[in-house]
Structure 1
């Protein structure tokens, strides 16, 4: 009995450390597994950020009333907005224009169809709601030509809309329109009539990896860090074709590109001003916001940003090289700005938070004017309130004497 009792005591004495060791190993294994999973999610997020994505459906078509020419969509913060919009879908047509909200309930929104649909039309129920409105340059019913800008990687197609004036001196003012991430230059067509009416020539450009301009080795975005060089080449092209004063207008990521051009262009002396619609001014703020919207832990977003900014992770993220987030942070570089800037941004953007726009306006009140919208969402300010959007740009141009005299009167 004594020996047995002694053995039991000895066993318990040596069993405790073994149990602790097993627990520690299990805990370490779980921790490493968790970190590995977080790393995988972070890399997926990083790859998603730089990869040009196909248009993702964000609503669905519930019903089309052909006799009444109305369309009923699933209700979302975008589909319930007043104004005119576009709708991407599939079937007998891939794009529809929609107008006024006619009625709505808790789940659906009925809108007027502005594109004729017949009983023979077949459409997918999945759709993507868009602020584009105009899909092709011909829809503006303005004279234009197809041009080709020679940039470092090759030829970038562009549309040129000459100024609505016979005065050669007035026609020396040009605006270069820069589209956003995951879109093409058609996004910018909404702005062309405004500048055309003010006697300003519009050059609507493409840039690397947007599906129209040349592709890099990896075919991914650098979030403005390299794309700006294609726009700078467009300024050189415009200069050779008579431009003597350049305005830059950027939409969303196009805003980040426009600011990089303003800060680094070899043609900075030609740039007279910058107009930004729903712009990305600091990518880290945007990615943190989107990570939170996806309910990702903050460390995952931090890991994604860390991966994107390092050269060694480029193979995993699919990028052409590291993303210089510090250089893309224009709030931090506000002191380098030399041109007047007009920012149009909605505080309920839903994709690119307006906080960085507010910070830039606070940092440089001498140069930056911020026009704050509400309920207009991302890059849909023209659609939501075309008059205010147009007046804001027109008045800003006049206040800085950036429109021909006859247009300003």
Structure 2
């Protein structure tokens, strides 16, 4: 409450002093934080050879890396899978196409490079079913992959993506005997929309994950492991300290997680050349009822409550953090700080080179081994 009163004393006079135009800019930055994003083209397709089934892309820090990835496109194909780097120079990268593109197909130049390799659960060749989870927001669709253990994994996707992001983890978790519940949550484009249709950065979405925990416990689970990707990490951490069933949470796996939103938003503002004090003014605006509503949020977002380094003493379950030093989108600093704050709970093997939520894509073996070893160490795998 003290920090909230401080924000109120700070933001309103600041907006008045800045004037209408600057105040509008602050609210615009705040709105960008909470508005669900559509995929923005970040990759240029330069050429496609349908005979050799190769694709030439503009070279970026993402497109130059080895591994398997996805490319969201427009035209005849909405999505294609990419394989190995075949050649590269200072400005271009030529990769193998794993999705066959037919001669004469139309593929636009603008595309979005992604770690979301699988788009459908049927691609995994495992038994699965569609289920609905009743949450406070309404019925949230989920995929359920049954397995032998009474410990279920509940996977939570990140910001601007859908639950298909999580499919990469299903095979390694299923091989450990763990059932997977891959969930959606409010305002993600699959689950119900709230009045404003805005993200709460984990402050509200955790309630949908809490409903998923209750669903798992009603359907045979004795314990659950939460696995959160990017913003899904923030959602999972909130659930781990707020759920009425938190004593049934046996572990948390965090993939490229948001552990503290202030660190992330300041970093991303710098990437976008948004100068101080705009990021902090925008976060302050999101904490107050009036300016939060003007920013498009359903309700105020209290950033102190989303800072899990500051709340580290509240954590009780063992945590595995998978986060690359070279993430490039969500800096690794807060993850390291959480490990330092709770070395008794947090395991954090070092990863480098891989980009945000693309550790599986770049180093599938190392990533899978880290998960398998941690599950065994925590006696969470079915064979343990």
TM-score using structure 1 length:
0.89
- Please point out which of 142, 162, 167 is paired with 1:189: 167
Provide the residue aligned with 1:239 in structure 2.
217
Shift, 1:34, TM fit:
6.1
Distance in 2, matches of 1:98 and 1:159, equals: 25
Q: Secondary structure at the match of 1:199?
A: coil
Count matched residues. 370
Is 2:229 the partner of 1:251?
A: yes
- Please point out which of 54, 70, 76 is paired with 2:60: 76
Provide the residue aligned with 1:13 in structure 2.
none
Provide the residue aligned with 1:384 in structure 2.
362
Distance in 1, matches of 2:17 and 2:50, equals: 55
C-alpha offsets along residues 59-97 of structure 1, whole Å, 9 cap, x if unaligned?
Answer: 110000111100001111111111000000011110000
C-alpha offsets along residues 89-117 of structure 1, whole Å, 9 cap, x if unaligned?
Answer: 01111000001001111111100000001
Q: Is 1:39–1:300's contact at 8 Å kept on the other side of the alignment?
A: no
Shift, 1:248, TM fit:
0.3
Distance in 2, matches of 1:317 and 1:283, equals: 17
Q: Is 2:16–2:23's contact at 8 Å kept on the other side of the alignment?
A: no
Larger Rg, first or second structure (1 or 2): 1
TM-score using structure 2 length:
0.94
Provide the residue aligned with 2:338 in structure 1.
360
Q: Is 1:38–1:300's contact at 8 Å kept on the other side of the alignment?
A: no
Is 2:314 the partner of 1:330?
A: no
- Please point out which of 133, 139, 144 is paired with 1:149: 133
Distance in 2, matches of 1:32 and 1:339, equals: 45
Q: Secondary structure at the match of 1:312?
A: helix
Q: Secondary structure at the match of 1:372?
A: coil
| Correspondence 1:160-239 to 2 at 5 A | 160-163=144-147, 165=148, 171-239=149-217
Provide the residue aligned with 1:58 in structure 2.
42
Provide the residue aligned with 1:24 in structure 2.
none
Unaligned 5+ runs, structure 1? 1-30, 166-170
Give the stretch that moved more between structures: 344-353 or 388-397.
344-353
Shift, 1:154, TM fit:
1.0
Distance in 1, matches of 2:99 and 2:358, equals: 19
Distance in 2, matches of 1:306 and 1:108, equals: 42
Distance in 1, matches of 2:284 and 2:211, equals: 31
Provide the residue aligned with 2:352 in structure 1.
374
**How big is the alpha-carbon RMSD for the aligned residues of Structure 1 and Structure 2?**
1.3
Shift, 1:314, TM fit:
2.2
